[in-house]
Amino acid sequence: MEVYSFLVYALAYIGLFLLSFYLLSFYQLRKVKIPEEKTDKTVSILIPAYNEERDIARTLKSILSIDYPKNKLEIIVIDDGSKDKTLEIARKFSSDRVRVFTKKNEGKGRALNYGLSKAKGEIIVSMDADTIVGKDALKKLIARFYDDRVMAVTSAMGIYKPRTFWQRVQHIEYYLSVFMRKSLVGINAIYITSGAFSAYRKKFFDKYGGYDEDNITEDLEIALRIQSHDYVIENASKAAFYTVGPATFYQLLMQRRRWYIGLMRNLWNYRRKLFGFKKGALGTIVLPSVVVAVIASIILVIYSLTKISGEIASELDSLNAVNFQFYNIYEMYSYMLNQFFYVLFSHPMYLFAIFFILVTACYLAFSRREMQFKEGLKVDFVIFIAIYSILFVFWWLVSLFYIGFNRTVKWGKK
């Protein structure tokens, strides 16, 4: 068996194993009853904002219309030295419930810590300045703090009104992560609490310190820190919120570069505390499989692209050798189509591919139902299946290049 086939089958087997494991965890956890909504805790929502004049008003309107007792909710906007009208717009919302602060620009981690120093609630919710929250999202989030060991709760994230091609790709990606988080919660293996809308117990910050101010993915670091102290990260998959995704290829690349470099650095920093048997499923299955999946994807996609480009070149050469004319395309390729369908069901490799595409579609259907999303996703799904693996590998290669050459990456928008 050639190396390529071996890698594909090894990856398929790992994929099947993880799928079985996550599904078992997912379905067994459904038996555990947890209250759907609760409003018994005081909450401080922190909204750090830097040059967010376009979205901040919409975000504040959304959070002010949230269904939660007014006397138990405070909103803290931290303007991180914006150069536009963010502060001016935010101040229009100032009231007993909304407090607006401003400070010089020092990055998101410091802005959040500044907000923490002003917060009075038992629960801290970090929220991006372009996040739109569902009316009942906070109640659902709070209900998940059913146990003192639950230190953080994540929610279900979607893309707000996806318009561009790149936002549509993220649209599907975000929905898929809804199912993944739901599965990971059954083994307490959530390792990212999105900064866009996640809740934490304030006592964790009081005991273990605030956000890591020099970390480019402070939301990932805080989740790993919670896990490293053996606490629980819960998930409220019905608590839906939407964020404005990067609209262009370049913006998306910059975001992913920051995420992936942050992931590599944080996993390396926490390698001794989080990898291994003592950390249960997180240390033995989830985090190692993240590393394996990234490495295997890079190898497979590069190999496949090289192979496909070689075949296209050879195909063009053959077409040239028969004086190919475009009107013959159906005739010449009808037999290739026959071959394709003939091979499709008789080769395990293709069967695995079909199977995993179907599984992805099921994940998506689950997320749609959880988030009560009504719009069609078929076109976005096809786009996602066609290009995501290539994009994923490209983002990783760029990130590895930055890590390899020790290039500096700073916190930018998203």
Partner 1 sequence: MKIRKYRELYLGRIFLAFIISTIVFVLFFIFAYSISYLNYQKISSQSGIIENSIVNFEETLGDFECNNELLIDASERFDDAAQKLNLLEKRFGKQDRRVLELKERYSELEYRHFLITKKFNLECNTSYITVFFFYSNRNDDKEEESERMGFILTAFERREAEKIMIYALDFDLNIGLINGLKEQYNVTRAPFVVINEKDIVYVRHINELEKYL
Q: Which of 5, 6, 17, 357 binds partner 1 (CB under 8 A)?
A: 17
- Residues 44-73 vs partner 1: string with x where CB under 8 A? ------------------------------
Which residue, 34 or 290, is less far from partner 1 as judged by CB? 34
Indicate left, alpha or beta for 280 from its phi (over 0: left) and psi (-120 to 50: alpha).
left
* Residue 331 is a binding residue for partner 1 (CB under 8 A): yes
* Residue 12 is a binding residue for partner 1 (CB under 8 A): yes
Which residue, 300 or 400, is less far from partner 1 as judged by CB? 300
- Residues 286-315 vs partner 1: string with x where CB under 8 A? ----------------------------x-
What is the C-alpha radius of gyration for the chain, rounded to an integer number of angstroms? 23
| Least distance in angstroms from the C-beta of 223 to partner 1 | 16
Structure tokens at 38: 């609760």
* Residue 351 is a binding residue for partner 1 (CB under 8 A): yes
Indicate left, alpha or beta for 323 from its phi (over 0: left) and psi (-120 to 50: alpha).
left
What one-letter code names the amino acid at 385?
Answer: I
Contact, 198 vs 126, CB < 8 A? yes
Number of chain positions touching partner 1 (CB under 8 A): 44
382/180 Cα distance (integer angstroms): 20
Shortest CA distance to 82 belongs to which of 366, 305, 413?
Answer: 413
Judged by CB under 8 A, which stretch of 24-32, 75-83, 163-171, 250-258 contacts partner 1? Answer: 24-32
Q: Which of 81, 280, 288, 412 binds partner 1 (CB under 8 A)?
A: 280
| Least distance in angstroms from the C-beta of 312 to partner 1 | 14
Shortest CA distance to 52 belongs to which of 74, 94, 92, 80?
Answer: 80
**CA distances in angstroms from 376 to 67, 164, 365, 370, 380, listed in the order given:** 28, 16, 11, 15, 9
Contact, 69 vs 142, CB < 8 A? no
Strands 197-201 and 232-243: what pairing?
Answer: unpaired
180/150 Cα distance (integer angstroms): 19
* Residue 180 is a binding residue for partner 1 (CB under 8 A): no
DSSP 285: I
Which residue, 313 or 387, is less far from partner 1 as judged by CB? 313
3-state secondary structure of 275: coil
Contact, 263 vs 220, CB < 8 A? yes
* Residue 187 is a binding residue for partner 1 (CB under 8 A): yes
Which residue, 336 or 379, is less far from partner 1 as judged by CB? 336
* Residue 28 is a binding residue for partner 1 (CB under 8 A): yes
**Would you tell me the crossing angle of helices 378-404 and 287-321 to the nearest 10 degrees?**
110
Q: Which of 317, 405, 408, 410 binds partner 1 (CB under 8 A)?
A: 317
* Residue 19 is a binding residue for partner 1 (CB under 8 A): yes
Q: Which of 40, 88, 147, 206 binds partner 1 (CB under 8 A)?
A: 147
Judged by CB under 8 A, which stretch of 44-52, 262-270, 289-297, 319-327 contacts partner 1? Answer: 319-327
* Residue 274 is a binding residue for partner 1 (CB under 8 A): no
**CA distances in angstroms from 51 to 4, 71, 104, listed in the order given:** 47, 30, 12
Structure tokens at 343: 């091979």
Site for partner 1 in 214-243 (CB under 8 A): 232
Binding site for partner 1 (CB under 8 A): 12-13, 16-21, 24-25, 28-29, 32, 34, 147, 149, 186-188, 232, 280-281, 285, 314, 317-318, 321-324, 331-332, 335, 338-339, 342-343, 345-348, 351-352, 355
